[in-house]
Amino acid sequence: MKLFPFAGLFALIWFLIRVIPKPSRAAYPCQRVAFPMASSFIIWLLGLAGSVAAYRKATTLFRKPRSIAVVFALAVSIAMIWAAMSADIENLPVLKADPLPANSPIGIARGIHPGRVVWIHDPNAAHWTGSDGITTPPYWYSDTSTNPQIVSEMLSKALRALTGKTSDYTAWDTLFRDFNQRMGRGNVGYEPGEKIAIKVNFTLSYENNPTGGRSSFLYDQIDESPQLTIALLKQLTNTVGSILGISA
């Protein structure tokens, strides 16, 4: 209860900052938790402000021969205080999900082998000694810290493990055919001229500042590995593209 004004104010600010730019965020779980506390804070704040205003009005009228008006203003002040103090803060609705049972994946399994997830680990892929986190080499994204050849081999192993195939090309062809079948296009592979969209993680490469640049303290923050991105592009051009007669 003692921390309610601070928690309520924080919840209100958080809700406004997140929801005003994009109203659809009001449906997010975090905003559904913040909204009840924020609305209770507003009611509490209005009640407190109303009681202060009514009390000041009562003290002003007390100096004048208007006993009924004084009593009414005091009554309003007391009612406002009661409304502010009686807010059911302790029992605010909280969004809570039921505990998930072990080994019970959520959603519908999809893919060549529905639900299959592949993890590839090779401790020799990276030898980054770490820097001061600002501008001191060696950087994690340089080839001296991350081995392009090993990363390329890891991607090849992941493709084959995901699809259950023994070659990179047949793995890609299987992926394309599975996708086209699920999209209702039939059992067809990739055809020249089709575009492929690749979602790359660049979360830390952008800052919301006027210059649009990246502060020096973010230089060493790990985003997408360039070695993995290059390995993927080489797979699509050298492996898939060469067999289909497509030049990079």
Tens digits of residue pLDDT in 98-132: 677 777 777 788 889 998 899 999 999 988 776 65
Report the chain's mean pLDDT, rounded to a whole number.
75
> CA triplet 25, 26, 27: central angle to 5 degrees?
85
Q: Same domain, yes or no, for 235 and 112?
A: yes
Query: What pLDDT is attached to residue 165?
Result: 95
Find tokens 């067809």 and name the residue. 188
Q: Same domain, yes or no, for 29 and 138?
A: no
Query: What pLDDT is attached to residue 141?
Result: 81
Give pLDDT tens digits for 145-167. Answer: 899 999 999 999 999 999 999 99
Residue pair 177/189 in contact by the 8 Å Cβ criterion = yes
Q: Same domain, yes or no, for 66 and 127?
A: no
Evaluate if pTM is beyond 0.85: no
Tokens standing for residue 210: 């006027």
Q: Given 51, 85, 119, which residue is the final one in a domain?
A: 85
Q: Same domain, yes or no, for 150 and 197?
A: yes
Q: How far apart are alpha carbons 123 and 125 in whole angstroms?
A: 6
Residue 53 domain flag: yes
Confidence band of 74 (pLDDT split at 50, 70, 90): low
Which residue segment(s) compose the domain that 148 sits in? 108-248
Residue 224 domain flag: yes
Query: What pLDDT is attached to residue 178?
Result: 93
Residue type, 52: V
Split into its structural domains, the chain has a count of 2
Confidence band of 40 (pLDDT split at 50, 70, 90): confident
